[in-house]
């Protein structure tokens, strides 16, 4: 369970990181749409783990690699904006968050199962007409 301080720092960093991505580094990642789904801070406030959802691209790992390459610029922008709120900015780690993709896949599977159930139910409920032999 995270402490109140961890949650407060995580929320502040998440909000500021979102601003940096949308304003300061706009267009740096092509047409990829990046959302921050979660930020976790270690108890010693030394590491911030960003969980990102990346849309509008087929190569999510490539976009994540670009983010990793711009880590120094991102940290510099964050430090400028948070200099009065934090003494030391935590190290940044980035991960792809696939939970939304998995939720879509599961939803599609449930819809498919539901459709198959409807088809089976209609087959069972409609009696077949048998032709009588004379």
CA distance 47 to 38: 14
Which pairs from 57-62 meet CB under 8 Å and 24+ separation?
Answer: 57/30, 57/31, 57/32, 60/96, 61/96
Please give the domain boundaries of the chain with CATH numbers for all domains: 4-98 (3.30.300.20)
Output the pTM of the full model: 0.71
With a cut of 90, say whether residue 28 has pLDDT above it.
Answer: no
Query: Percentage of the chain with pLDDT > 70?
Result: 93
Query: Percentage of the chain with pLDDT > 90?
Result: 39
- The confidence band for 121, taking pLDDT boundaries of 50, 70 and 90, is confident
Residue 66 CB burial class (10 angstroms; 0-12, 13-18, ≥19): middle
Q: Looking at 46-55, 81-90, 99-108, which range is the least confident one? A: 99-108
């Amino acid at each position: 369970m995270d402490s109140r301080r961890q949650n407060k720092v995580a929320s502040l960093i998440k909000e500021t990181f979102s601003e940096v991505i949308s304003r300061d580094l706009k267009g740096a990642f092509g047409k990829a749409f990046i959302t921050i789904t979660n930020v976790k801070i270690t108890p010693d406030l030394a590491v911030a783990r960003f969980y990102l959802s990346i849309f509008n691209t087929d190569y999510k790992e490539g976009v994540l690699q670009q983010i990793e390459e711009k880590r120094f610029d991102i940290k510099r922008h964050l430090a400028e904006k948070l200099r009065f709120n934090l003494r030391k900015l935590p190290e940044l780690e980035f991960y792809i968050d696939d939970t939304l993709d998995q939720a879509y896949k599961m939803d599609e599977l449930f819809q498919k199962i539901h459709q198959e159930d409807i088809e089976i139910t209609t087959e069972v409920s409609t009696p077949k007409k048998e032709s009588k032999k004379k």
